[in-house]
Amino acid sequence: MKMISLAAGVLLLSGLSASAATDKAVVTLNDSPFATDTIMPEIYGQFAEHLGTCIYGGLWVGPESPIPNTNGYRNDVLNALRELKVPVMRWPGGCFADEYHWMDGVGPKENRPRMVNNNWGGTVEDNSFGTHEFFNLCELLGCEPYLSGNVGSGTVEELAKWVEYITAEDGPMATLRKQNGREKPWHLKYLGVGNESWGCGGDMLAPYYADLFRRYGVYCRNYDGNKLFKIASGASDYDYDWTETLMKKAGHQMHGISLHYYTCYSWDKPKGYALDFTTDQYYWTIGKCLEIEDVVKRHAAIMDVYDPGKRVALLVDEWGTWWDEEPGTIKGHLYQQNTMRDAMVAALSLNVFHKFTDRVRMTNIAQVANVLQSMVLTKGDQMVLTPTYYVFKMYVPHQGARVIPCHIESKKMKAENERGSKPRTFQTVSATASEKNGVVTLSLTNVDLDNDCEVKVELGSLGVKKVNGEILTAKNIADYNDFGKPELVSPEAFSGAKLNGNILTVKMPAKSIVNLTLTK
């Protein structure tokens, strides 16, 4: 089904023929003593919103469920997420956050009031998963909690008391927490002051929200050694004026500012389906995904004017693909399948984020389970690992590693840009490299659907003696993993990398992601 006109199609911008069996590319690793930037583990953050079956059925089934669980949390999902070494989890939204009143989600479950989830399908929320359940989940996963506070329909007092409830040793809110079964306070570092305040979080103007952020920041206090990292609700995509206004009026009061960027066709028209797309639509997706590099650059440049010391972090706390709900699923629950195309978007996006470690210190893919570009899909007692899950698993060695800058020369392509006449241009090969404990991880992506690529990697003075690798690819770019069927998309051992001195030759198949471990 073709949801968007791409009459111009996809064009090659080099002398290489589209019918060539094997393209050529060169990747140069520019390691030096001055390459000291670190890929923050939080760049691999997750996002769990009260939306569809992300929480209920995805993460939480309750302790009485016949589905194997630990205190109500699905064992299969817990184990899968532990493999990813999830560093941070954002909750409870998203748009849900600005209609969520935390007092409804504490205390005996039978006494918790129900509410209608007006943003996502009008389903009834019973509040059985609340503050205690979320923070206990983070402890089980060993990850940092990232709390999105209610600014849209809440009050300063409400958010201030929530922070006190979570982090204070003593006082009225701590007493209530203890009565509800938690003696010691939790650790809370990341606090989001609202979500999408320009839209579902209150339809505010930037100057008004800037004043609100300053006000909320005063009353959300640090208790008993807990240090809050306060995050302003930042821009969507190309709204550079929002970033400039917030940095100008509230930059000195914030620790971070968010940015949301989705790879999707349109907000007011059909977005197309995850499993049904044309070749042109695939390359459009690649171009749109990679445009996040220019978007991050422009927001970061504005931040540099007001914060040249780069104290304030840029957090891309919602990103990923957004397609129409799968046919036959509940409208507003945003359930979509996940193909090799989505895996490509994940790898390319992470490669971009690695380039901006001076500003981008957290990202949160949307979302962890059963919603948009998820890590896992669940149905009853079954669980499926998505192609995107495997990208995150392959990239685990990059977490906390030192960035090794890369220079890439490969065939270029262009795809239509719906925002103007100038097409998006991109290289068919993407790369990122990092080093930790003497081990170099090199991740390569070939987005070309038809042509293999021989990649010459110039290793410089790294002194590599041994190479091992794995590959993620599929017969068809629309292949995906489904319930009760053998996996079509999962990593396999890769033997197409050959080392000769300080030159590594990698023979990459079309539409593939290769992860190499280089040891000395």
Residues marked active site are found at 196, 318
Residue type at 263 in one-letter notation: T
List of residues 6+ apart from 388 with CB closer than 8 A: 320, 338, 342, 343, 345, 346, 365, 373, 374, 375
List of residues 6+ apart from 343 with CB closer than 8 A: 386, 387, 388, 390, 391, 472, 489, 513
Distance CA 441, CA 420 (A): 37
Distance CA 262, CA 44 (A): 16
Instruction: Give all strands of the β-sheet with 503-508 in edge-to-edge order.
Output: 406-409, 22-29, 452-458, 503-508, 497-500
Written as six digits, the tokens of 375 are 């890590």
Side-chain-side CA neighbours of 179 within 13 Å: the count stands at: 10
Which segments of 80-228 are extended strands (E)?
A: 88-91, 115-116, 124-125, 144-149, 190-193
DSSP state letters, 123-159:
PEE---S-HHHHHHHHHHHT-EEEEEE--SS--HHHH
How many degrees, rounded to 5, is the angle at CA 71 between CA 177 and CA 53?
Answer: 95
Written as six digits, the tokens of 218 are 């005063």
Side-chain-side CA neighbours of 326 within 13 Å: the count stands at: 14
Residue type at 175 in one-letter notation: T
Q: How many CB atoms lie within 10 A of CB 429?
A: 23
Using CA atoms of 130, 131, 136, 141 in order, give the dihedral in degrees to the nearest 10.
Answer: 90
- Residue among 511, 498, 387, 503 at smallest CA distance from 444: 511
List of residues 6+ apart from 150 with CB closer than 8 A: 97, 98, 99, 100, 101, 102, 158, 159, 194
List of residues 6+ apart from 437 with CB closer than 8 A: none
DSSP lists the bridge partners of residue 339 as 480
Distance CA 39, CA 41 (A): 6
Cβ atoms of 368 and 52 within 8 Å: the answer is no
**What is the enclosing helix (H) or strand (E) of 301?**
helix 292-306
DSSP conformational letter for 411: -
> Which residue is it, tokens 């990459």?
508
Written as six digits, the tokens of 320 are 């990923």
